[in-house]
Copies of this chain bind each other. A is one copy, B any other.
Amino acid sequence: MSFTEKEFLQAKHRLEEAQARNREKERKVRTRRLIQEGAVLEKAIPQVRQMSLEQLEGYLCGLIK
């Protein structure tokens, strides 16, 4: 492997690692937002705690009709 090829592969590896870190970071931000939305939903409409997820979806769709 020539020096240039080695350098290229190293740079590619670093780029892929940075992209993986970014995806993980975005996934955490997304998960945190979903938790917050769920908490706000339970605060505003406490009875959602007793619903199955299917019931919850039907209930919310009914609310906005």
Do residues B33 and A38 form an inter-chain contact, with CB atoms below 8 A? yes
Q: Number of contact residues on A: which range applies?
A: 20 to 34
Interface residues of A in 26-65 (CB under 8 A from B): 31, 33-45, 48, 53, 56-57, 60-61, 63-64
Tell me if B37 and A48 are in contact (CB < 8 A).
yes
Residue ID in chain B nearest A31 by CB atoms: B35
B63 near A40 with CB under 8 A, answer no
> How many angstroms between the C-alpha atoms of A45 and B61 in the bound complex?
7
Name A48's closest neighbour in chain B (CB-CB): B37
- Nearest first, the 3 closest Cβ-Cβ pairs linking A and B are A34-B38, A37-B38, A44-B60
Q: Which of A37, A56, A60, A61 counts the most B-chain CB atoms under 10 A from its CB?
A: A37
